[in-house]
Amino acid sequence: MARPIVAIVGRPNVGKSTIFNRIIGDRLAIVEDKPGVTRDRIYGIGEWMGTSFSVIDTGGIEIDGADEMLKSIRMQAELAIEEADAIVFMVDGKAGLTGSDSEVAQMLYRAKKPVILAVNKVDNLKRQDDIYEFYTLGFGDPIGISGSHGIGIGDLLEAVVTNLPEKEEEQYGEDTIRVALIGRPNVGKSSLVNAILGEERVIVSDQAGTTRDAIDTPFERDDQKFVLIDTAGMRKRGKVYETTEKYSVMRAMHAIERADVVLVVINGEEGIIEQDKHIAGYAHEAGKAAIFVVNKWDVVEKDDKTMQQFSQKIRDHFLFMTYAPIAFVSAKTKQRLHKLLPIVVEVSEQHAMRVQTHLLNDVVSDAVAMNPPPTDKGKRLKINYATQVSVKPPTILLFVNDPELMHFSYERYLENRIRAAFRFEGTPIRLFTRKKSDDE
């Protein structure tokens, strides 16, 4: 089920990214600190009083050129209006009301979305008076906050969750595999949907961004129910959206949240660019099963080494997703397309697989015996017990003598041994450590 989306909007230098980091807390630390993970995130997961939501930091979206400032502000607001379920409109209490604030406000009036007005840099009681002039923006009571001191964040989050829409009921049963296709505009997502279905169900054009909305297409193959979720392209036209690949990740967020398996579609003709890593990284962080699908393979000039070389490029660029299988296909000629759905079924099963506790402990014990944890300042990690606590993705809890002794390299070693024993192909594995108490 998709999380609602909250966008943080405002002119530059009002502290959007600081508030973004406050809201998501230490959740980004859950992501493995592995080489190849893109660090400049513009999205994360926030939670307040049991309500979880995706957060977009529009301050992380850049437009090339110093003279593009106003265009950047306008574009960020437009994206937020279009994508978000609720909008946090941030202004600067120290600087006071500016013309740029008023311009953003004018756009938000037309949004017909809930807008929460947050006045940042209200660092102490003396600055509380700074919020009053912002009443003129017309968004009700401004909330005074301080990103640097953490003041008022609870009030802000309470206002956010109060304004979020109620959860939609999931319309597909547990036996249906939900498959999201994500990727930059014009990598061939809609063409792939049509090719898999064998009919023209989704409008396809060579013009990037012709798919208008996320489209669900349920179908059945070999007694297995599927639903394909094709993420939308960009709706707007014009100069503001010249570099649309920077923003397609926002389109992918909803689809990824709803999916069991994510197809990360790469244009085989163009190769891999940085934005592919952004998009794939969100699927990884969301804990979804994933398959790299290299489309348009029919137009690639190749010899007997081309596929191996391209596979190695994917492994080099996506070091944090070595578990994801790679499929080379052509939506146009149907080349190797028949192999794709069987892989989807397999990784979906691996994503939902639960390992018996005694077997898991046997594998972990053997791994420790073969390669004992290194000592750290005279102390050595001791793993007392392992148990799988959830699926989708498989999540394993290790009870240890001291969680701080678990080095990320040893955690990776354990993950690799667990994968070797139980496969878990196509799915991330989450490993967590907890100190074993005396009564456990």
Query: What's residue 176's pLDDT?
Result: 93
Contact 4, 253 (CB under 8 A): no
Q: Where do the H-state alpha helices sit in 205-288?
A: 248-258, 274-285
Query: What's residue 10's pLDDT?
Result: 85
What are the pLDDT tens digits along the chain (440 aa)? 567 889 888 887 888 888 888 888 754 433 333 433 333 456 778 889 888 888 887 764 443 444 555 566 666 567 667 778 899 999 999 999 988 888 888 888 888 899 999 999 998 777 777 788 999 999 999 999 998 888 899 999 999 999 998 776 667 788 999 999 988 777 888 888 888 888 655 544 444 443 334 567 888 888 999 998 876 543 333 333 444 444 555 566 778 888 999 999 999 988 887 778 877 888 898 899 999 999 999 988 888 899 999 999 999 999 989 999 999 999 899 999 999 999 999 999 999 999 999 999 999 999 999 999 988 888 999 999 999 999 999 999 999 999 999 998 999 999 999 999 998 999 999 999 998 765 54
Query: What's residue 80's pLDDT?
Result: 65
pTM, two decimal places: 0.72
Half-sphere exposure of 196 (CA within 13 A, CB side): 28
**Residue ranges of domains in the chain, CATH in brackets:** 5-162 (3.40.50.300), 176-351 (3.40.50.300), 357-435 (3.30.300.20)
Contact 30, 110 (CB under 8 A): no
Query: What's residue 13's pLDDT?
Result: 80
Annotated binding site for GTP: 10-17, 57-61, 120-123, 183-190, 230-234, 295-298
Q: In what order do the strands lie in the sheet with 261-267?
A: 215-221, 224-230, 176-182, 261-267, 289-295, 326-328
Q: Do the strands 379-380 and 375-376 form a parallel or antiparallel pair, or are they unpaired?
A: antiparallel
Convert the pLDDT of each residue in 140-199 to its tens digit.
999 999 988 888 999 999 999 999 987 766 677 889 999 999 887 778 888 888 888 886
Angle CA 292–172–3, to nearest 5: 70
Annotated binding site: 10-17, 57-61, 120-123, 183-190, 230-234, 295-298
